[in-house]
Structure 1
Amino acid sequence: MQKLVFHNAWDKTLSSKDRKRIEKEFEKTKNRHQDLEIIILWLAMNHKGECLVTTLIHNRGNQSFPTDEIELRLVDHQKVIAEHTFTIPFTLEPFTSMPWTFIFSENSLGENSLENALIEWKT
């Protein structure tokens, strides 16, 4: 059975409003058939012009998912608008979902709108 877990840093700082929002999205998406999936929860720009992409990562498979050197890209209307390689400080266990924020630098975004952005594994 799929379970939702929060990294310790998140568990301590997450607002109750955001926690409820994440839990609602988890309930809505936990039973999809894709083993690995990243769902965008919300996007924000910080004071440095970086794009913060808060996601829900699902590992619905029966093997741990190593989270070092994950190549991700933001796509808007089938156009790649940003890509970056990330390392996350945990391994995502089987049948586990966890929220995480990926930060795409200002340089990787260019002048693109993020209105309809999707996040996907770079292949």
Structure 2
Amino acid sequence: MQRLMFEPKWDKTIADQDRKWIKAQFNQLIFADDSSIQFTILKHAYNHRNHLLVTVLIHNLSDQPVRLDSTIIDWANQATGTFTVPIDIQAKHSMPWTFIFTDYKTPIDEDDELVIRGWCKKS
């Protein structure tokens, strides 16, 4: 059974309203038996520097902890970045995270998908 976890800094600072919203989004998901890393896009926005911020749930559906380490993540060939998430995502856990893309080609379509093109390390 998939469980929701929060990175420690998120856990301390996230607003109650945002935590409830993320939990509600998580509770609506249905997980297939799989052993992969998947994303559910929760929202996207642009910051004051016009960087694209994409908030997702990262799902580790495998039986082992994983860490995204120098992992290339691509959004429909419109935004690409190399990201490291600083903690292990435990087996059968999901965790919210925001990826910041400093360079993107065109406005993002909400129907586009995030794709991992790099490596995730098994811990």
TM over 0.5: yes
Aligned partner (choices 59, 74, 83) of residue 80 of structure 2: 83
Q: Extract unaligned runs of 5+ from structure 1.
A: none
Distance in 2 between residues matched to 1:68 and 1:19, nearest whole Å? 25
Secondary structure of the corresponding residue to residue 62 of structure 1: coil
Q: How does 1:1-123 map to 2 (within 5 A)?
A: 1-34=1-34, 35-75=36-76, 80-105=77-102, 108-122=103-117
Which deviations, in whole Å up to 9, do the C-alpha atoms of 1:29-78 show, x marking residues without a partner? 25233431111101010000101100000111101112211110111xxx
Between Structure 1 and Structure 2, the one with more helix by share is: 1
Distance in 2 between residues matched to 1:2 and 1:30, nearest whole Å? 9
Which deviations, in whole Å up to 9, do the C-alpha atoms of 1:53-104 show, x marking residues without a partner? 00000111101112211110111xxxx1011110111111111110000000
Distance in 2 between residues matched to 1:14 and 1:54, nearest whole Å? 13
Secondary structure of the corresponding residue to residue 83 of structure 1: strand
**Equivalenced residues, count:** 117
CA RMSD of aligned residues (A): 1.6
* Alignment CA distance shift 1:60-1:115 (3 Å): closer
Q: Extract unaligned runs of 5+ from structure 2.
A: 119-123
Checking the alignment, whether the CA contact within 8 Å between 1:43 and 1:52 is kept in structure 2 is yes
* Alignment CA distance shift 1:117-1:62 (3 Å): same
One-letter amino acid of the structure 2 residue matched with residue 61 of structure 1: S
One-letter amino acid of the structure 2 residue matched with residue 24 of structure 1: A
